[in-house]
Each structure stands twice: as structure tokens, then as C-alpha cells.
Amino acid sequence: MSVSKIALVTGAGTGVGKAIARALIEAGFAVAMTGRRAEVLDMAAAELGGETFVHPADIGLAEQVDGLFEAVVARFGRLDLLVNNAGMSAPAVPIDELDIAIWHQVVAANLTGAFLCTRAAFRQMKGQAPQGGRIINNGSISATTPRPHSAPYTATKHAITGLTKSSALDGRPFNIACGQIDIGNAGTAMTSRMSQGVLQADGSMAVEPTIDAALIGKAVADMAGLPLEANVLTMTLMATQMPFVGRG
């Protein structure tokens, strides 16, 4: 399949990000991959094949985001899709015991990074010809419903929903579509602890089911494959049996 569109995926070296990159390559995208660890990105790109471009960056830092987008446009000439996937969680501790440094790290990775990349994508997508593009944010089901002891992660993911909706609104005059996928328990290293049990709202511990990260990649590729006059504003993709809907 010939490459027709250019995508940038943050947090692309492992887990959900790598699964998204794989699905986009299979859908015919050339994929720029970013993350903080160059060696992890290089290994992922070699595994995935296709037309990839690796540029390490800390997306919580404005100057590194600017350099990232400059490098992507220099390599490919335009940008059709940004997937804001990068993020981190915090230790599950009571809110009054949370270290303020951890709070700032989570906000920088999950929210500030997504904002900085969105800002840079808007600048590029508004100015290129043909004008426009698509942004897809990884919201998590924590964008609507918290786990116990998850204030930093939950707060940033709720904020991602606001960023998604504001970007969808502000992008209308420039043919920029923005949507969000809220993921429930993709099977990655980050969720491996769920096989040993996760703290529930009633104080019990429960093993939670997961889904193959490849399903997340396919869903994102499907969202990305829509024409720009159509947009999936929000999608929730989760393990059918996970304790989320209703009371558990």
C-alpha cells in the first residue's frame, strides 16, 4: 500500500503507542515516532518496518516539541495526523500523601505535553496546503471515572477531554478534526499488575480483564481513516467484563 498520509504518534516506543503506530503503518501512513528514549524508539521502528521516522523528545518541554515538529515537517513536508498518546501514572497513594513533584511530572507528561503538541499541530495544519488534519487524544476511562488514589492521573485525563472539545471547536474553520479514545485496560506492561488485583472503590481487590493493545491501534486507525468532514469526538473501548459500567 502506498503511503499517502503522515502521522505523528507520541509515546510510540512501547505499549499502546507502538500498537497505534503499527496499525497506522498497516493503514498506509508514514509514521513519525517520538518518546523520551531513543533506543526504545529505534527498536520499535525496526520491529514495525514501514516508513517510520524517529525523533526523541520530552513533550513536556516547549522547545523540544517545537524541534520535534520542525523535524517531522522537514522529513515529510506536512502533517495529517497527530496522536497524543504519551502519558504516565502516579503511585496509588492517598491525595494528602502525594509528593508535589509527582503531581508536576504527571501534569507535564499527560496535559502540558498534549497541549504543546496540539498547539504545534494547529500551527502546521492551518498553514499547509491542503489545509487541515486530525488530532486524536488518548483520554483513558479515567477521563470520566476515577480509580481510588488517582488524583493526578484522573485530573489530567479529565482535562484532556476539555482539550479535545476545545480543539474540535477551534479547529472547525481550518478543517482540523479532533477526537478522543478512552481506553479501558489495554494489555500492556503498564496494566500487568491488574492480573494480581486492583484496588476497587469499595476497598476490595479484584483482577480486571484486559484487551489486546492491537484492538486500540485498529480503533485509532479507523478514526484516522475517516474523511475530515466526519469526526469521532469520543470513543470508549474497553474489556467487556471490566468493572466500570454501573456499580462494579
- Active-site positions? 153, 157
Give the side-chain half-sphere CA count within 13 A for 62.
2
Measured distance CA(181)–CA(218) in Å, rounded:
12
Measured distance CA(110)–CA(106) in Å, rounded:
6
Q: Which amino acid is at 126?
A: K
Q: Which residue has the cell 484496588?
A: 199
Contacts made by residues 232-235, CB under 8 angstroms, sequence distance 24+? 232/179, 232/181, 233/164, 233/165, 233/168, 233/179, 233/180, 234/139, 234/161, 234/164, 234/179, 234/180, 234/181, 234/182, 235/179, 235/180, 235/181, 235/182
Q: Which amino acid is at 170?
A: D
